[in-house]
Structure 1
């Protein structure tokens, strides 16, 4: 079939954000997103700085946290500046190529986080169920290899989604009803039936999410079973406390994501603003609360922070 030469193809896209948001709230929402971004950079950057400067934190668990934290920071950096510019400077334009590159980054860091959470669950499973063999199985070397593999093997699925979506004809609307470019929001704008292209992407996404989730569920099922065998109530509480922060992050990461993908592919529709709010829930909350959970619930990190704060106070006192 010869393409119609009169058809004008999209050269750039427009990030709309919340379609129902009144312009009088643009300054407020941009300020909120800006504060979120600054907090994410400072909080996660603090954790990475402590890890880099304190050998006491050079342990398998913290290397896994570092992988998750780095993924969170890079995801936020690839998405938040554009939506801040959209509301702050009314600059929602993004070029065709840049939009697809952002789509790649969004899905890539999502896959990295998914794999990393699975590794974290396995780490906790071995620590609780095989404590005497933990340092042999989950050595620093083995964990670093696993984390590197996570970042390497997250590329194919993300590249596949871009390669499948990029050649589609985009000759109609160019407004993306979202805060960033992702596969669903972009392919909805294609001037063709998106089902043959979106369904394989949906299957891959669900395999990644559910595959990681199955590993997590099995790991924590064995953890719970082992904890219940502990006779000491104090021991049970301590073990559950160690795992509780990870369970919070896992719930925030997986449950809204699975719901969003399922809703988009089985025809469930609801208010666009509500849908975007759900997406932001699982996109921004984990990067914001991860440092708090890992700092406030981990004694080593907490003690290092306190000691650095006290040293800072002493140095200020001497200077004054």
Structure 2
């Protein structure tokens, strides 16, 4: 796509988000499953946060991390889905330059935060299974607050340069973004100048965050597996595997589409563009939709509290 009216001193006032290029006529119908998933994500995560906040018995490390995950999911999907649905249903494609950079910041910063929370949850499972007697002392409330603060700070500090650097670059005017939201590389492709720094820094952040977190998660679960296989009781082994299985499902649902989206932008030139955009959209809504369902079903305390809550409301 050719960008016109090159400006080396300013940026455009607005961008045009095209949604899903090549599926313009189908976007209206594609929006419905996204809308349903978004509603489930918002309601489900809000209920999880409410239950954990109001139930004293759930004020434990595992549930604190789950509440952090739910808050991150709400921010992640809400930063993109309302605008995405307005594109699909109303044709409202314009997004202000600063609004676009703000959306880009939230998408990438909270993707990093979610990855960090998943890593923290893996460490929590490792301590709970391998050092059950020391669990509460190792993962005390101050330790959890420190871990959560570091995860958020990492996301903010690593992603902020994206927005700050892109803000200083010269843009081609009147050039639409071939995406449904302001993804970093989709925006950088509109720059009329050298984008080497942005591309290299983006690669560095992605590999640093995902590489570190996946390494810690992998080591944690390798040690968990080793410890579980030593348990003498089959029932205890099955319970431990069941506890970890839900977390592993959430990890795969987050990282697989995320890595696909990241690699397709840079190396997947043979991947159909509409497939890439749909996967990028799913990456931001599927994990937030699945998380409250999986943990609500698999976690007895949350499940029982949810049933009690709905009974009290007469539902």
Relative to the length of structure 1, the TM-score reads 0.91
Does residue 84 of structure 2 align to residue 83 of structure 1? yes
1:55 match: 56
2:34 match: 33
2:70 match: 69
2:95 match: 94
Residues in 2 aligned to 1:258 and 1:27: alpha-carbon distance in whole angstroms: 27
Alignment deviations for residues 72-107 of structure 1 (CA, whole Å, 9 cap, x no partner) = 101111101111111221111001111011101111
Residues in 1 aligned to 2:270 and 2:16: alpha-carbon distance in whole angstroms: 22
1:230 match: 231
Shift of 1:279: 1.5
Question: Secondary structure of 1:175's match?
Answer: coil
Residues in 1 aligned to 2:290 and 2:169: alpha-carbon distance in whole angstroms: 38
Shift of 1:27: 3.1
C-alpha change, 1:226 and 1:182, in structure 2 (3 Å) is same
Shift of 1:193: 3.4
Does residue 284 of structure 2 align to residue 257 of structure 1? no
1:13 match: 15
List runs of 5+ in structure 1 lacking aligned partners: none
Between 1:218-227 and 1:30-39, the stretch displaced more is: 30-39
Shift of 1:290: 0.3
C-alpha change, 1:281 and 1:34, in structure 2 (3 Å) is closer
Residues in 1 aligned to 2:242 and 2:249: alpha-carbon distance in whole angstroms: 11
Write the mapping of 1:151-230 to structure 2, written as runs, cut at 5 A: 151-172=152-173, 174-230=175-231
How much is the aligned-residue C-alpha RMSD, in angstroms? 2.1
Does residue 306 of structure 2 align to residue 310 of structure 1? no
Residues in 1 aligned to 2:199 and 2:166: alpha-carbon distance in whole angstroms: 8
Shift of 1:28: 2.2
C-alpha change, 1:167 and 1:5, in structure 2 (3 Å) is closer
Between 1:290-299 and 1:278-287, the stretch displaced more is: 278-287
Alignment deviations for residues 256-290 of structure 1 (CA, whole Å, 9 cap, x no partner) = 32233234334644111111122223221110010
C-alpha change, 1:211 and 1:6, in structure 2 (3 Å) is closer
Question: Secondary structure of 1:70's match?
Answer: helix
Q: Could you tell me whether the CA contact under 8 Å between 1:63 and 1:144 is conserved in 2?
A: no
1:131 match: 132
2:3 match: none
Structure having greater relative contact order (Cα 8 Å, sep ≥ 6):
2
**Higher-Rg member (1/2):** 1
Between 1:213-222 and 1:247-256, the stretch displaced more is: 247-256
Shift of 1:26: 3.7
Question: Secondary structure of 1:193's match?
Answer: coil
Residues in 2 aligned to 1:189 and 1:6: alpha-carbon distance in whole angstroms: 12
Shift of 1:16: 0.9
Residues in 2 aligned to 1:180 and 1:136: alpha-carbon distance in whole angstroms: 43
Relative to the length of structure 2, the TM-score reads 0.92
Equivalences, count: 311
Question: Secondary structure of 1:178's match?
Answer: coil
Residues in 1 aligned to 2:135 and 2:250: alpha-carbon distance in whole angstroms: 23
